Amino acid sequence: MVTHEQHAISVRAGEGATRPGILCVVRYDKNERMRRALKTLGFFWALAVASVPVVIAHFVLVPGFLIAGPFLAFRKFKAETALEKALGACPACDKEISFALEPADVLPKWTYCPRCNASLQLAFGRK
């Protein structure tokens, strides 16, 4: 089962003002993590089978996909949470902003305001 969580974060402009924000996180239970891992494993092993007819390159592609499949599936299985997005108001320009985050991103994270291009830091907790 997939559950969506929200956590309080702070959005700070450089060394200046701070605004509250919301971090949206997806949490996966054990069954869902296993399903995602098997999907990843199947995808990479299907790529290995599909790359067999590729002349010369199959000497690298087939073993590469066969080895990468279990490694990436294990990483998917170990990932209990994935960051989704961050919401908040930019302290520099006062406009509502939304950041798409990579699942493997870690807070504190430096980024830029998509509206005014100010340097922003996303961090846990409100200050």
Give the residues lining the site for Zn ion (CB under 5 A): 90, 92-93, 113, 115-116, 118
Closest separation in Å from C-beta 116 to Zn ion: 3
Q: How far apart are CA 28 and CA 68, in angstroms?
A: 22
Q: Which is nearer to Zn ion, 73 or 113 (CB)?
A: 113
Closest separation in Å from C-beta 104 to Zn ion: 25
Q: How far apart are CA 81 and CA 28, in angstroms?
A: 6
Closest separation in Å from C-beta 91 to Zn ion: 8
Tell me the one-letter amino acid at 44. F
Q: Which is nearer to Zn ion, 61 or 118 (CB)?
A: 118
Q: Count other Cβ atoms within 10 Å, centred on residue 48.
A: 19
Closest separation in Å from C-beta 101 to Zn ion: 17
Q: How far apart are CA 66 and CA 27, in angstroms?
A: 28
Q: Which is nearer to Zn ion, 3 or 117 (CB)?
A: 117
Give the DSSP H/E element, type plus range, for residue 26: strand 18-28
**DSSP category for residue 114:** T
Q: Which is nearer to Zn ion, 24 or 116 (CB)?
A: 116
Q: Count other Cβ atoms within 10 Å, centred on residue 95.
A: 11
